[in-house]
Amino acid sequence: MLNFSRSLQIFLRNSITFSTPLRQVKTLSPKKLKEHNTVIIVSPTCVDYKNIANFMKEHYFPNEPTCQALGVKGYTILLDQMIASLTQGLSLVAKNKTTGEIMGVALNEKTTPWDADLNDKLAVTIQCDNLKKLLHFYATLERAPNIFQKYNVSEVFEIANLAVSSHFRKKGIAKKLMIKSKEIAKKMDFEILRVDATSFYR
């Protein structure tokens, strides 16, 4: 069995980080998305936070490769980080217009050069070895592209977590969330939009 350090090196070689200057990005033109009149993309309110947390536990973490590879079972700290990102007001949720059921979520956040250090500091306080390794890994992944120095920016718009319900996949919902997220980033004058794809789905 590969040790964690070796596994991390392999993962970094195979993971995908998208960090694109927004001023250079043309309007996205994906193949025509299937029309689903029941889907609406909205900004979540505090009333949605608990439902989003439950949604992520059911539809995101069970399929997230790094959590599964390390056998992380408790998601409380990770969910706390997600709730914190929700309070920034940059995230989006796809809902069924009629029932209000959550169909997908884009947890977006503003990231800064010191966020990786914060993850490392948090990891030191964790007793669970696997969760500790995961947080250190996230810190390493955050630093790897050297985005802030490369583009000379102090903050980046990041689509930190993107998830679609297992019941509603292959319907263009993730693309819609990505497109709307990009629109928010441009509207708020972010120069860079970042996506780290640990589970790259085509």
- Mean pLDDT on 139-155: 94
The tens digit of pLDDT for each residue in 149-186 reads 999 999 999 999 999 999 999 999 999 999 999 999 99
Are the CB atoms for 168 and 104 separated by under 8 Å?
yes
User: To the nearest whole number, what is the mean pLDDT of the chain?
Assistant: 85
pLDDT in the model for residue 68: 87
Contacts of 110 (CB under 8 A, 6+ apart): 88, 90, 155, 156, 157, 158, 190
The percent of residues in the chain predicted with pLDDT above 70, rounded, is 80
The percent of residues in the chain predicted with pLDDT above 90, rounded, is 70
Question: What letter does residue 28 receive in the DSSP assignment?
Answer: P
N-term to C-term CA, the chain: 29
What's the pTM?
Answer: 0.79
Buried b (16+ CB within 10 A) or exposed e, 175-188: ebbbbbbbebbbee
The tens digit of pLDDT for each residue in 13-56 reads 444 455 556 555 444 344 444 444 689 999 999 999 999 999 99
Q: Comparing C-alpha atoms, which of 27, 23, 15 is closest to residue 151? A: 23
Task: Using the predicted structure, report yes or no on whether residue 127 has a pLDDT greater than 50.
Answer: yes
For the chain, domains (ranges, CATH) are 39-197 (3.40.630.30)
The total number of residues written for the chain in this structure: 202
